[in-house]
Chain A
Amino acid sequence: MEIVWDWFEWLNKAHGIKLTIFYDEWDRGRFLKGIWTTIHLSVVCILLSVFVGMTGAWLQMSRFVWIRRVVAGYIAFFRNTPPLVQLYFFYFAVDRTLAGFFDVKGGMMDSYGWAVISLSFFAGAFNTEIFRAGVEAVPKSTIEASEALGYTKFQIYRYITLPLAYRVCLPALNNNLINLVKTTTVAYAIAVPETLYISNQIWSDEYNVPEMMNVVWIVYLLLVGVLVFLMHRWEKHIKVPGFGQ
Chain B
Amino acid sequence: MFKRLVTAGVATLAFSLMYSAAADTLQDVIDRGKLVAGVKADYAPWGMRDASGNVVGMEIDMINDLANRIGEQAGKEIEVELVVVVASNRMQFLEQGKIDIMIATMSDKPERREVVGIVQPNYYSSGVAILAHNDSGISDWDSIKGKKICGIQGAWYNKEHGDKNGAEMIVFKGVPEVEAAVLDGRCVGWLYDDSAFIPRKVNEPEKWKDYEIATPVVADVPWGAAVRKEEIQDPIGKTLSAAIIDWHKSGTIAELETKWGVPQTQWVLDMRDKCNAGDKSCDDVLDEGE
Contacts and interface: CB of A to CB of B under 8 A. Distances in A.
Contacts of A107: 184-186
Contact of A204 (B156, B181, B185): B156
A30 B170 CA distance: 13
Contacts of B186: 106-107, 110-111
B171 A201 contact: yes
Contacts of B169: 201
A15 interface: no
Contacts of B172: 189-191
B154 interface: yes
B193 to A, nearest CB: 16
Contacts of A105: 185
Contacts of A204: 153-156, 158
A205 interface: yes
Contacts of A197: 171
B156 A205 contact: yes
Interface in B128-154: 153-154
Given A107-B185, A204-B153, A204-B158, A92 B171 contact: no
B171 A106 contact: no
- Specify the main secondary structure of chain B where it touches its partner: mixed
Contact of A201 (B153, B177, B180, B185): B153
B242 to A, nearest CB: 41
A96 B184 contact: yes
Contacts, number: 42
B173 interface: yes
**Which residue of A26, A95, A191, A201 has the most chain B CB atoms within 10 A of its CB atom?**
A191
A200 interface: yes
A99 interface: yes
Contacts of A201: 153, 158-159, 169, 171
Nearest to A30: B163
A200 B158 CA distance: 12
A99 B184 contact: yes
Contacts of B159: 201, 205
Interface in A172-227: 189-191, 197, 200-201, 204-205
A92 B173 contact: no
Contacts of B155: 204
Interface of A: 26, 30, 92, 95-96, 99, 105-107, 110-111, 189-191, 197, 200-201, 204-205
Given A191-B172, A205-B156, 11 more contacts: A30-B163, A95-B184, A99-B184, A105-B185, A107-B185, A110-B186, A190-B172, A201-B153, A201-B158, A204-B154, A205-B159
Q: Nearest 3 CB-CB pairs, A to B?
A: A106-B185, A204-B154, A191-B170
